[in-house]
């Protein structure tokens, strides 16, 4: 019985423990219905906008904005028993990393759990009203930009795959000023 209680209180050994008195929450996140809540004790390492087809389909949106944290800086504070997982590579509703993490009550996708990192969705954080999004959460690039369904006219680097591990897409205005054309360039 003890193992079941601990399993319900702790999310995993690589995450911050609910009993860690030295953990200081810097940001709070929750699903839509508030059944699942967690805290983060550090600023994100990076933030990206992903245009891959999997993110488009699972999020029902043209892109996904994610802030990347070490798992040790994340602590689930409520609703561990309401968390469900989905591995999109294997099409399995299981915690096989990497996987999508969502609330079983309201269905909100709350994060991507990678093998080493936690990719949180900044729109779920409580940044006040009106929101004051910290600079550390602002995206630094677009990834899988070749799969985009919308052009993004910003100054962020656009990568064909993962940042610094793929070809950077350089956009040039098309004749007539309508849209952008992109060509990959190894950086």
> Which alpha helices (H) appear in the chain, and where do they start and end?
2-9, 53-59
pTM of the model as a whole: 0.85
CB-CB contact of 99 with 118 (8 Å): no
State the number of CA atoms in the 13 A half-sphere of 84 facing the CB.
12
Give φ, ψ of 3 to 5 degrees: -60, -35
CB-CB contact of 16 with 73 (8 Å): yes
Q: What is the pLDDT of residue 7?
A: 37
b/e map of 125-158 (b: 16 or more CB within 10 Å)?
Answer: beeeeeeeebebbebebbbbbbbbeeebeeeebb
Q: What is the pLDDT of residue 2?
A: 36
* Spans of the chain, pLDDT less than 70: 1-9, 173-187
> For the domain bounded by 2-139, which CATH number is listed?
3.90.1590.10
Q: What is the pLDDT of residue 182?
A: 55
Q: Which residues contact 149 (CB under 8 A, 6 or more apart)?
A: 51, 56, 62
Give φ, ψ of 70 to 5 degrees: -70, 145
Domain range list for the chain: 2-139, 145-187
Q: What is the pLDDT of residue 112?
A: 97
Q: What is the pLDDT of residue 173?
A: 66
* Tokens, residue 24: 């200081």
Q: What is the pLDDT of residue 3?
A: 32
Q: What is the pLDDT of residue 58?
A: 94
């Amino acid at each position: 019985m003890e193992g079941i209680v601990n399993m319900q209180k702790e999310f995993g050994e690589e995450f911050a423990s609910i009993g860690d008195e030295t953990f200081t929450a810097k940001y709070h996140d929750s699903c839509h219905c508030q059944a699942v809540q967690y805290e983060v004790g550090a600023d994100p390492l990076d933030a990206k906008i992903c245009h891959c087809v999997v993110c488009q389909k699972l999020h029902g949106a043209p892109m996904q904005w994610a802030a990347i944290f070490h798992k040790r800086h994340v602590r689930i504070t409520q609703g561990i028993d309401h968390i469900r997982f989905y591995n999109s590579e294997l099409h399995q509703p299981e915690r096989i990393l990497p996987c999508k993490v969502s609330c079983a009550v309201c269905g909100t996708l709350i994060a991507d759990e990678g093998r080493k990192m936690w990719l949180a969705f900044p729109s779920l954080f409580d940044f006040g009203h009106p929101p004051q999004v910290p600079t550390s959460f602002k995206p630094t690039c677009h990834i899988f930009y070749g799969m985009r369904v919308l052009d993004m006219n910003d100054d962020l680097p656009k990568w064909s795959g993962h940042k610094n591990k793929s070809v950077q897409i350089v956009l040039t205005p098309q004749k007539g000023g309508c849209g952008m054309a992109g060509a990959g360039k190894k950086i």
